[in-house]
């Protein structure tokens, strides 16, 4: 039975024999994958035209809300995915990493959306004044790339892999073409069916290919991207396609990497024990079939034996078997082919001088592969650092000095992640600079964080996932980082009125006097750029003395005439916090109204001293707005406090919570 793909708004079945998808525990053929004869190039155009337009119509905020609703929808139906997962060789615990991990990414990106604007334009740092009078300004903004993103996934995480790539693309407003790896495509297909059934995704925003990509790359250009996870060999082959080398599509790769773990010279017993547990866990989760798993372990010569023993102790009691049976900790590898690959890699490691230190005594039939600890007394041979056994295999090697350990760790040619077990800041600093250029994530493990660490192998949605060199050079997750991979940065140059209209944020020079006090207006009625200019207030000696008494802040610059004369200001000045308070007193409209709370302030600068006799006046401008929930929104106000000479004495952004109109 050929599994259907979802293209151009319909479920469609590819032709021909198809590639079999097997249950690795039983060898049974579950389904077949084929995209033969399907309109793949057309799916690119359809994604751009139909999906792209529909996504733009929603804006960042609404897309974020839909991601949250989607995460909830999938949470309520995840048992369906858990059940199907058992046919991939994965245990229930493996499924938890994949399914719940993936749903967690959706929730994270939904939360990130709260800080994004309503539309589709994401302004970056503040505008630059490009002319003296401010009539010509420049600002960097990000806009959706206008193309599609083809997401090619590996077999090991059919759910997380799809969702961690989909979430940032969807939030950015870019339609997805998901291409799961064939061996677990049936799980990815079940996920996509659920996602489409949710009714939350506009048509064209998610399409699915179960099978090969055919000639699809021919349709890609500079608007599009390919996010790939899989083997280095495939990544290298794909990266040479004219879609990337000639037409400028983005190619982002996460490839296999030979991740190291180092037991530091300054590690104590606690660090050794915890590192052993970490290594054992890396070999157990997904039977070591994780791109981030620990493959090479470096320990000081005299402690290598203890680390091996402690690791063995964790692995010994584990049970291999069909994940459908009770009490099974480790399932089979994903396929017989994967087992062949692992066996080949192990042969290579043995040929390079590694010896079998310990082998688990569990099942070896079919695709089963029991955990294996290798010991290489001589860490020099190249193959020990370049051969990846994509299964429950780790090679332990001794080192003398930290320089040697770092040199060995670097020989992996670029890794997704490295763990260094040390409590010592000096040693950690050494590894930060020695390994920093060679890894995407550096995990320090010690007795202070062992109880709280999320582990070596787990990429987190808000932290970067991706590594240099052999690891593919890509960047995924990292919160807003991966959102930006789907947006294009451009430099806007215009007058402040246009800049304000385009970015949805206040541009200096485009203010308009407020007709009504802005504190009387509900969220919806506040217009970007409307400005309240307040009455004035002259600061007196009494103000400064009273503020000192009230706040208990008797700093010499406010209270000691002699010391103040010798100070930076040459005279006694008012407290900065007095200036802030006085400004609030000038612009606040006191009666109950839609402004609910002061939410904080950002970017505060005191630019000129204020002394008794100076006259203050405040300007309060609506700078930006973001809805928070159905009842409230956050309003950012640009506040500028000026003195009698018209000089700005303080500027900041005030945040308030403002009520929305009752719908
Ligand atoms: P592959 O690189 O063969 O496949 C990865 C993905 O690329 C799959 O979806 C595959 O589809 C697709 N693909 C393969 N060839 C092409 C092509 N010519 N054009 C477009 N897409 C293509 O890796 P595997 O999944 O087979 O795993 C092999 C090895 O990859 C593992 O042994 C391990 O070393 C490494 N790996 C790395 C991972 C990582 O996260 N970095 C994760 C998993 C594996 P299809 O399945 O249909 O061929």
Asked if pLDDT for residue 464 goes beyond 90, the answer is yes
Over residues 180-205, the mean pLDDT reads 98
- Per-residue pLDDT, 663: 66
Q: What is the mean pLDDT of residues 138-143?
A: 98
Choose one of 5, 21, 154 to mutate for the ligand 1 pocket test, by most ligand atoms within 8 angstroms of C-beta: 154
Q: Give the 3-state secondary structure of residue 598.
A: strand
Cβ atoms of 37 and 14 within 8 Å: the answer is: yes
Q: Quick one: average pLDDT of 255-261?
A: 94
pLDDT digits (tens, 9 = 90+) for 589-607: 999 999 999 999 999 999 9
DSSP 498: H
**Are residues 160 and 85 in contact, defined by beta-carbon separation less than 8 angstroms?**
no
- pLDDT of residue 345 exceeding 80: yes
pLDDT score, position 34: 97
Q: What is the pLDDT of residue 362?
A: 87
Going by alpha carbons, the residue nearest to atom 14 of ligand 1 is: 234
The pair of structure tokens assigned to 657 is 């919570």
Nearest to 425 by CA among 263, 260, 266: 266
Distance of CA 12 to the CA centre of its chain: 33
The 10 Å Cβ neighbour count of residue 140 is 15
**Which segments within 276-316 are labelled E, that is strand?**
294-300
Tokens found for residue 606: 């005191």
When pLDDT is averaged across residues 164-186 and rounded to a whole number, the result is 97
Q: In the numeric block, which tokens belong to residue 341?
A: 């690959």
DSSP class per residue in 445-461: E-TTTTTT---SS---T
Atom of ligand 1 nearest to the CA of 289: 43
Q: In 3D, which of 490, 497, 464, 491 has the Cα closest to residue 144?
A: 490
CA distance 459 to 462: 9
pTM: 0.93
Q: Give the per-residue pLDDT at 600.
A: 95
Q: What is the mean pLDDT of residues 50-55?
A: 98
Contact 207, 47 (CB under 8 A): yes
- Taking the C-alpha atoms of residue 159 and residue 161, their distance in angstroms, rounded to an integer, is 5
CB 496 within 8 A of CB 134: yes
The DSSP code sequence of 195-238 is: HHHTT-SPTTSEEE--S--TTGGGG--TT-EEEEEE-HHHHHHH
Q: How many helices (H) and strands (E) does the chain have?
A: 22, 28
Give dist(CA 177, CA 540) in Å, integer: 67
Ligand 1 centroid from CA 182, angstroms: 9
Residue 144 pairs with which residues in a beta bridge? 487
Strands (E), 180-312: 206-208, 225-230, 250-255, 259-263, 294-300
Q: Round to whole Å and give the CA distance between 396 and 128.
A: 55
**Hey, what are 296's tokens?**
């090479």
In degrees rounded to 5, what are phi and psi of residue 278? Answer: -65, -45
Instruction: Give nearest CA residue, ligand 1 atom 30.
Output: 231
> What average pLDDT does the structure give for the chain?
96
Q: Is the pLDDT confidence value at 256 over 80?
A: yes
Ligand 1 midpoint to CA 181 (Å): 7
44-48, 323-327, 558-562: the lowest-pLDDT one: 323-327
Token pair 């005594």 is found at 361
Which positions ≥6 away from 381 have C-beta within 8 Å?
Answer: 352, 353
Distance from the alpha carbon of residue 342 to the mean position of ligand 1, in angstroms = 15
Residue 406, SS3?
helix
- Non-local (6+) Cβ contacts of 311 within 8 A are 276, 279, 280, 373, 394
Ligand 1 centre and the CA of 180: distance in Å? 9
What confidence category does residue 158 fall into, taking pLDDT thresholds of 50, 70 and 90? Answer: very high
Residue 507: name the closest of 661, 638, 354 by CA: 638
In whole angstroms, what is the distance from residue 661 CA to residue 521 CA? 9
- What is the number of the ligand 1 atom nearest to the C-alpha of 341? 32
Number of Cβ atoms within 10 Å of the Cβ of 199: 11
Secondary structure element (H or E) that encloses residue 465, with its range: strand 464-465
Distance 338 CA to ligand 1 centre (A): 11
Which is catalytic among the residues 271, 282, 291, 388? 291
Query: Bridge partners of 374?
Result: 356, 395
- The Å distance, Cα 75 to ligand 1 centre, comes to 28
8 Å CB contact between 145 and 488: yes
Ligand 1: residues whose CB is within 6 Å? Answer: 152-156, 179, 181-182, 212-213, 229-231, 234, 238, 254-256, 291, 341, 388, 390
Beta bridge partners of 439: 415
d(CA 179, CA 188): 9
Nearest atom of ligand 1 to the alpha carbon of 19: 47
Using DSSP's 3-state secondary structure scheme, residue 569 falls into: coil
Write the pLDDT tens digit of every residue in 512-566: 999 999 999 999 999 999 999 999 999 999 999 999 999 999 999 999 999 999 9
Average the pLDDT over 247-274 and give the result.
96
Going through 180-271 in order, the beta strands assigned E by DSSP cover: 206-208, 225-230, 250-255, 259-263
Tell me which of 254, 278, 282, 505 is the catalytic residue.
254
Residue nearest atom 44 in ligand 1 by C-alpha distance? 230
CA separation (Å) from 431 to 277, 455, 497?
22, 18, 50
| Segment 42-53 mean pLDDT | 98
Residues facing 420 on adjacent strands:
262, 444
Average pLDDT over residues 446-451: 96
Please choose, from the candidates 503, 533, 538, the residue with its C-alpha nearest in 3D space to the C-alpha of residue 518: 533
Ligand 1 atom closest to Cα of residue 182: 46
What is the number of alpha carbons within 13 Å of residue 529 lying toward its C-beta? 17
At residue 47 the predicted structure's pLDDT band, cuts being 50, 70 and 90, is: very high
Do 556 and 567 meet the contact criterion of CB atoms below 8 Å apart? yes
- Output the six-digit token pair for 36: 């033969």
Residue 662 confidence (pLDDT) above 80: no
Region label for 638, one of left (φ > 0), alpha (ψ between -120 and 50) or beta (otherwise) = beta
Does the annotation mark 203 as catalytic? Answer: no
pLDDT grade, residue 25 (50/70/90)? confident
Flag whether pLDDT at 436 surpasses 80.
Answer: yes
Averaged pLDDT for residues 444-460: 96
What's the pLDDT score for residue 629? 87
How far apart (Å, rounded) are the C-alpha atoms in residues 638 and 400? Answer: 58
Question: Does the active-site annotation cover 291?
Answer: yes
């Amino acid at each position: 039975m050929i599994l259907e793909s979802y293209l151009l708004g319909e479920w469609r079945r590819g032709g021909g024999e198809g590639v079999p998808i097997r249950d690795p525990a039983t060898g049974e053929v579950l389904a077949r994958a084929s995209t033969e004869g399907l309109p793949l190039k057309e799916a690119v155009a359809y994604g751009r035209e139909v999906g792209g337009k529909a996504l733009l119509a929603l804006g960042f905020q609404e897309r974020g809300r839909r991601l949250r609703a989607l995460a909830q929808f999938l949470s309520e139906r995840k048992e369906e995915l858990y059940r199907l997962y058992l046919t991939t060789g994965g245990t229930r615990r493996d499924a938890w990493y994949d399914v719940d991990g993936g749903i967690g990414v959706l929730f994270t990106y939904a939360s990130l959306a709260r800080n994004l604007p309503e539309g589709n334009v994401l302004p970056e740092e503040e505008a630059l004044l490009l002319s003296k009078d401010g009539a010509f300004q420049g600002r960097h903004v990000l806009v959706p790339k206008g193309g599609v993103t083809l997401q090619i996934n590996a077999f090991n995480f059919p759910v997380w892999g799809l969702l961690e790539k989909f979430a940032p693309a969807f939030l950015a407003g870019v339609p997805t073409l998901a291409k799961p790896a064939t061996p677990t495509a049936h799980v990815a297909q079940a996920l996509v069916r659920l996602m489409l059934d949710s009714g939350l995704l506009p048509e064209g925003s998610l399409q699915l290919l179960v099978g090969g990509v055919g000639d699809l790359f021919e349709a890609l250009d500079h608007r599009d991207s390919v996010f790939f996870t899989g083997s280095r060999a495939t990544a290298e082959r794909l990266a040479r396609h004219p879609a990337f080398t000639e037409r400028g599509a983005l190619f982002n790769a996460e490839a296999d990497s030979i991740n190291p773990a180092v037991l530091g010279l300054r590690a104590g017993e606690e660090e050794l024990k915890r590192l052993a547990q970490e290594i054992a866990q890396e070999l157990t989760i997904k039977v070591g079939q994780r791109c981030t798993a620990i493959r090479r372990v470096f320990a000081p010569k005299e402690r290598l034996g203890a680390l091996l023993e402690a690791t063995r102790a964790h692995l010994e009691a584990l049970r291999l078997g069909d994940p459908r049976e009770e009490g099974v900790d480790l399932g089979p590898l994903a396929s017989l082919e994967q087992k062949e690959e692992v066996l080949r890699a192990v042969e290579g490691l043995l040929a390079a001088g590694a010896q079998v230190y310990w082998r688990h005594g569990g099942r070896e039939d079919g695709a089963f592969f029991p955990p294996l600890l290798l010991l290489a007394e001589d860490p020099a041979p190249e193959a020990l650092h370049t051969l990846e056994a994509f299964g429950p295999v780790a090679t332990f090697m001794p080192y003398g000095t930290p320089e040697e350990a770092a040199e060995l760790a670097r020989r992996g040619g670029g890794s997704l992640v490295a763990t260094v077990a040390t409590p010592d800041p000096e040693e950690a600093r050494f590894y930060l600079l020695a390994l920093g250029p060679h890894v995407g994530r550096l995990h320090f493990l010690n007795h202070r964080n062992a109880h709280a660490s999320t582990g070596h192998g787990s990429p987190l949605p808000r932290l970067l996932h991706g590594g240099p060199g052999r690891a593919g050079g890509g960047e995924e997750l990292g919160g807003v980082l991966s959102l930006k991979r789907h947006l294009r940065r451009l430099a806007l140059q215009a007058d402040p009125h246009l800049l304000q209209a385009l970015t949805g944020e206040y541009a200096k020079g485009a203010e308009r006097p407020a007709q009504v006090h802005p504190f009387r207006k509900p969220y919806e009625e506040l217009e970007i750029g409307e400005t309240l200019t307040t009455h004035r207030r002259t600061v007196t000696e009494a103000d400064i003395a009273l503020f000192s008494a009230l706040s208990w802040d008797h700093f010499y610059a406010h209270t000691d005439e002699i010391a103040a004369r010798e100070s930076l200001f040459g005279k006694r000045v008012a407290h900065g916090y007095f200036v802030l308070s006085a400004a609030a007193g000038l612009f606040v409209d006191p009666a109950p109204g839609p402004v609910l709370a002061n939410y904080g302030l950002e970017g505060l600068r005191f630019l000129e001293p204020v002394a008794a006799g100076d006259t203050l006046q405040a300007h309060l401008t609506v700078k930006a707005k973001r809805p928070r929930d159905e009842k409230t929104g956050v309003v950012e106000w640009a506040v500028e406090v000026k003195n009698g000479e018209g000089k700005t004495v303080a500027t900041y952004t005030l945040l308030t919570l403002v009520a929305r109109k009752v719908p």
